[in-house]
Chain A
């Protein structure tokens, strides 16, 4: 796992570089994979109710919940504990690798938020 604290100076240099190029620069500014998150920054024991459900609801609930305005898309209710448990690989692929979900220009899931969900998965999905 990459330690974020070790990477700050490098990030600062890239930030300054981007400033020099007035916003066109910055591609490739990333340092670590979205999975390489500092363990200290993620809750040790995330739970479904406190940590995972609010995040899935926030990013996905507009389409993937029973009371979505547009109707439940793809029959996938990500606010349901059992459904969400088995959809994690798909969530990772679409939200974090392809970045195709949420669709369009809606706000994408942050790496930190996915790290919390991933930790929950690793810990055996505590409720």
Chain B
């Protein structure tokens, strides 16, 4: 590969102006699309672990050509397949690091990529070879440099096609507008999250994600609630430490299992990890590291209230306490993410009062296999997870609990760059002690990542319910997604 081309400097006022205009326009479109008649649920943020697995195929997925570079020693290396490579939030979702922004502009889109990795240069429809330049197509919403310079482990600008690698301040956006077909058709802004990160000094970053809290009753109900827009994640983090380690304090989702962008998957929803909900957030401290292949995340926290209807708030207008409820909890996730495969285990427990949802414990086994790493003829990524948990029943007089489980198997096929097919099978048994409440669910669909920062996702889902009289139900979802 030739040496990296540096695009003309487009920083300063024009870039800042472009980022502000894009943010403002998206906000205006979202607000304008609110239908006063009703609404629906806001959805999860969208970390996509199969992208990480897929990135292992070639180095220039994540950064520009490594010509003439010195391979850094292990403690300074950022090459891993953990969420922290592409996301500022080390356990995934939300604002992208420069590697994530580079990947999003260079590798993912069908049209107007800024660059194509060496192995994927021809993996696009010939009629659609629009890109002949490496110019970045989106304004980079990142500004300045941290005071005192960057940490030794910080990203270096020249490796990312001129994108701001270690900014003082950065904005990000995740937004989804969805159609949901389930008998009736709903259209709603599924997600509108704004991310902000202030990185004032070498290792220090203050991070927040804020977004709308839509209600399933409708938009009118959403804007009738006292706080339709809330801070979801807020933490102070020391990161860019040796071996990709970090420590953070604040509100975040506990590290457990595989982070999927479909919040209806039982491995997330049934385990209190619905990333669109404030109830899933915990307040605490988390440590983590991910030097190349192994990874470890450990968190100790104050849990929050379970997502449920409450007699004292029948309209469900109230939000849970921002810093959680009385009690404690812990979570640990560890494993190995190699270039062609991955295997991990997680455990989590919550201790809290019955009125807040009671105690719970959970363990999970996660795995992945990336045949594409071994053969160019197999552009597939397979991910799976099995999670088992126990929850306390709302019984005042004893400590009864019940078991539940969920699993998924997901296969993605990248037909061409930007055309990403999906097959996912799920099984869930929400309560072992109840007959025939388990179900199987099959999802078929895919993503069309048309442009940098813009994609269309479609999915048809069939749910096979148990029992002699059970019926098969189905629905479909189609959403337009913008991010940067």
Residues of A that sit less than 8 Å from B by CB: 2, 4-5, 7-8, 11-12, 14-15, 18-19, 22-24, 26-34, 38, 40-41, 49-51, 53-55, 57-58, 61-63, 65, 67-71, 73, 97-100, 103-108, 110-112
What separation, in Å, do the CA atoms of A83 and B433 have in the docked complex?
31
Flag if A15 contacts B432 (CB, 8 Å).
yes
Contact B217 A34 (CB under 8 A): no
Secondary structure at the A interface, as helix, strand, loop or mixed, is loop
B463 close to A11 (CB less than 8 A): no
Q: Please pick, from A41, A55, A65, the residue contacting B309 in the complex, using a CB distance under 8 A.
A: A55
A32 near B435 (CB under 8 angstroms)?
A: yes
- Shortest distance in angstroms between A11's beta carbon and chain B's nearest beta carbon? 4
Q: Residues 112-144 of chain B: 1 if any A CB is under 8 Å from the residue's CB, otherwise 0?
A: 000000000000000000000000000000000
Q: Chain B, 248-269, contact with A by CB distance < 8 Å: what is the 0/1 string? A: 0000000000000000100001
Given contacts A15-B388, A53-B314, A67-B220, contact A24 B469 (CB under 8 A): no
Q: Does B430 contact A (CB under 8 A)?
A: yes
Q: How far is the CA of A11 from the CA of B393 in the complex (A)?
A: 15
Note all chain A residues with C-beta closer than 8 A to B313.
54
- B-to-A contact residues, CB < 8 Å: 35, 37-40, 180-186, 188, 216-221, 264, 269, 308-316, 365, 384-386, 388, 393-395, 397-398, 400, 402-403, 405, 407-409, 427, 429-441, 461, 463, 465-467, 469-471, 473-475
Please tell me if the beta carbons of B438 and A5 are within 8 angstroms of each other in the complex. no
Given contacts A15-B388, A54-B309, A104-B475, contact A70 B38 (CB under 8 A): yes
**Which of B311, B314, B385, B405 makes the CB contact (< 8 A) with A18?**
B405
Measured between alpha carbons, how far is A51 from B311 in the docked complex, in Å? Answer: 6
The 8 closest A-B pairs by CB, nearest first: A69-B38, A104-B475, A23-B407, A50-B311, A30-B435, A104-B182, A54-B309, A69-B218
User: Closest CB-CB distance, A87 to chain B, in whole Å?
Assistant: 17
Q: Which of B218, B310, B314 contacts A68 (CB 8 A)?
A: B218
Q: Give A62 to B183 CA distance when docked, in angstroms.
A: 13
Interface centre among A19, A62, A110, by most B CB within 10 Å? A62
Can you report 17 A-B residue pairs in the complex whose CB atoms are below 8 A from each other?
A14-B432, A22-B407, A28-B438, A30-B437, A34-B434, A38-B400, A41-B394, A62-B217, A67-B217, A67-B218, A69-B37, A69-B39, A69-B188, A70-B185, A71-B37, A106-B264, A108-B437
Q: What's the Cα separation between A29 and B217 when bound, in Å? A: 34
Q: Are B427 and A23 in contact (CB under 8 A)?
A: yes
A104: nearest chain-B partner, CB-CB: B475
- B265 → A minimal CB distance (Å): 10
- The smallest beta-carbon distance between B189 and chain A, in angstroms, is 12
A-chain residues with CB within 8 Å of residue B186 when the two chains form the complex = 69-70
CB closest residue in chain A, given B397: A40
A33, B400: Cβ atoms under 8 Å? no
Which residues of the other chain, B, contact A63 by a CB distance below 8 angstroms?
A: 183-184
Residues of B within 8 A of A67 (CB): 38, 217-218, 220-221
Chain B residues within an 8 Å CB radius of A65: 217
CA distance A30 to B435 in the complex (A): 4
Of the candidates B40, B388, B437, the one whose C-beta lies within 8 Å of that of A34 is: B437
Given known A-B contacts A104-B182, A110-B431, A99 and B217 have beta carbons under 8 A apart: no
Scoring B384, B400, B434, B463 by chain A CB atoms within 10 A of each residue's CB, the highest score goes to: B434
Q: Which residues of chain A are within 8 angstroms of B470 by Cβ–Cβ distance?
A: 97-99
Q: Are A7 and B433 in contact (CB under 8 A)?
A: yes
Q: Knowing that A11-B432, A62-B218 touch, tell me 10 more A-B residue pairs with CB under 8 angstroms.
A: A23-B385, A24-B407, A28-B438, A33-B435, A55-B309, A73-B183, A100-B471, A104-B182, A105-B264, A106-B475
- Taking CB atoms, residues of chain B closer than 8 Å to A105 are 182, 264, 441, 461, 463, 473-475
Q: How far is the CA of A46 from the CA of B436 in the complex (A)?
A: 25
Q: Could you tell me if B437 and A103 are in contact, using CB atoms closer than 8 angstroms?
A: no
Question: Please, how many angstroms separate the alpha-carbon atoms of A9 and B474 in the complex?
Answer: 35
What chain B residues lie within 8 Å of A71 (beta carbons)?
A: 37, 184
